[in-house]
């Protein structure tokens, strides 16, 4: 077989430590070592969980497709087969109640994320001296076809916020949470873990601590006065509970993001919204409207908490209105319109009709 890079080769360092283990067991040993290294580096717990989940999917591929796994199999062709498997054979949401048709093929973003975990894993093992060279080096990124990701319209947002019965504690809590998500564009996993002390009502802001931020970096977000007023009301309602957290269940337990996403479906139906509503769609919507209302991309990057500016393009999907506004304001034709509007004089105004 013509290989673009050699398959993985173990160093003597790892061979001595794994003497007597099968190749599959050696692979698992290296992953545990990788996980411990990243944990010791202070990588966010959410990222560590993602590493585990992505590697588990790779193991599922090995279980289903590889009869007798050998480490020398790990080369570019092998990882291309894994990409093909994810793109064409994996059943989406397997055993999930919403997958009624057994549709196959993972989203391009999911494939890229799972391959990225393998890149980080093998690069770490190369750096640590367990393997001579990462076998996945040179694998081209799976191309992500741009798709028209829908966001909520302003009217849909209005109807959504009107769909809660604010006399009911649970629905009022959800109403406050919806306002906070739309206002800050924070992630649901960050917001539901906020404590009362994370809010500063004097300067209208909320602090997202590093330990609950997905990126592992803390950030401070401004709040609209209307959002602050709602938050103060919720804090008063929560006086019946002895908890430092802000978003609680009716029994005083910490409100979970999965429970909120389930309740969103109820509100979407009540508001007459046919789009599949989930908490991250609110982040997409808030970011899109921020730009359409004239917000700056650099400021949006800071609000969303992205280190890479290119990620802004993944979270915002500008509509025709924004494009028309930007075009109208910045088109080069603006520089020549005054000249074009001046009427050209073709006929003499004062000619008496006599030949010269």
Per-residue pLDDT of 105-141, as tens digits, reads 888 888 999 999 999 999 999 999 999 889 998 888 7
Residues 208, 258, single domain; the answer is yes
Residues 181, 278, single domain; the answer is yes
pLDDT of 196 over the 90 cut: yes
Q: In the structure encoding, which two tokens stand for residue 223, read together?
A: 């709040």
Most confident by average pLDDT, 1-15, 198-212, 287-301: 198-212
Residues 158, 119, single domain; the answer is no
Cite the beta strand spans of 267-312 per DSSP E: none
On whether residue 141 sits in a domain, the answer given is no
pTM: 0.62
Cite the beta strand spans of the chain per DSSP E: 199-200, 205-208, 219-222
Residues 206, 325, single domain; the answer is yes
For the chain, what is the domain count? 2
Residues 171, 115, single domain; the answer is no
Residues 275, 189, single domain; the answer is yes
User: Is the CB of residue 155 less than 8 Å from the CB of residue 98?
Assistant: no
Residue bearing tokens 């013509």: 2
Range of the domain at 227: 154-329
**How far apart are the C-alpha atoms of 289 and 152, rounded to whole Å?**
9
On whether residue 144 sits in a domain, the answer given is no
On whether residue 146 sits in a domain, the answer given is no
On whether residue 132 sits in a domain, the answer given is no
Q: Whole-number mean pLDDT of the chain?
A: 82
Calculate mean pLDDT across residues 292-306: 74
Q: What is the DSSP letter of 153?
A: -
Angle, CA 99 vertex, CA 257 and CA 175 arms, to 5°: 25
**How far apart are the C-alpha atoms of 329 and 255, rounded to whole Å?**
45
Q: The sheet that has 199-200: what strands, in order across it?
A: 199-200, 205-208, 219-222
User: Is the CB of residue 188 less than 8 Å from the CB of residue 279?
Assistant: yes
On whether residue 356 sits in a domain, the answer given is no
Calculate mean pLDDT across residues 163-174: 94
On whether residue 343 sits in a domain, the answer given is no
């Amino acid at each position: 077989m013509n290989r673009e890079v050699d398959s993985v080769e173990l160093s003597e360092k790892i061979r001595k430590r794994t003497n007597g283990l099968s190749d599959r067991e050696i692979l698992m040993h290296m992953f545990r070592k990788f996980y411990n290294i990243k944990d010791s580096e202070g990588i966010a717990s959410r990222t560590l969980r993602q590493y585990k989940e992505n590697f588990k999917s790779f193991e599922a591929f090995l279980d289903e497709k590889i009869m007798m796994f050998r480490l020398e199999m790990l080369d570019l062709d092998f990882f291309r087969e894994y990409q093909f498997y994810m793109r064409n054979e994996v059943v989406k949401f397997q055993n999930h109640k919403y997958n009624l048709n057994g549709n196959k093929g993972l989203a391009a973003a999911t494939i890229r994320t799972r391959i990225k975990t393998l890149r980080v894993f093998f690069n770490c093992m190369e750096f640590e001296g367990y393997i001579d060279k990462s076998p996945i080096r040179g694998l081209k990124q799976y191309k992500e076809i741009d798709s028209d990701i829908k966001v909520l319209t302003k009217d849909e947002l209005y109807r959504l916020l009107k769909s809660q019965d604010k006399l009911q504690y649970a629905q009022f809590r959800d109403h406050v949470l919806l306002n906070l998500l739309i206002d800050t564009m924070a992630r649901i996993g960050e917001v539901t873990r906020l404590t009362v002390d994370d809010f500063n009502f004097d300067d209208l802001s909320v602090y997202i601590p590093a330990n609950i931020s997905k990126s592992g970096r803390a950030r401070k977000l401004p709040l609209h006065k209307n959002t602050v007023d709602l938050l103060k009301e919720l804090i008063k309602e929560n006086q019946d509970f002895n908890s430092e957290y802000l978003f609680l269940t009716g029994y005083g337990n910490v409100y979970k993001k999965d429970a909120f996403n389930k309740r969103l479906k109820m509100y979407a139906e009540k508001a007459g919204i046919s789009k599949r509503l989930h908490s991250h769609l609110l982040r997409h919507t808030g970011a899109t409207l921020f730009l359409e209302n004239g917000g700056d991309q650099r400021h949006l990057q800071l609000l969303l908490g992205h280190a890479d500016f290119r990620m802004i393009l993944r979270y915002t999907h500008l509509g025709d209105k924004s494009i028309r506004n930007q075009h109208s304001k910045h088109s080069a034709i603006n520089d020549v319109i005054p000249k074009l509007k001046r009427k050209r004089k073709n006929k003499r105004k004062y000619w008496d009709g006599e030949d010269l």
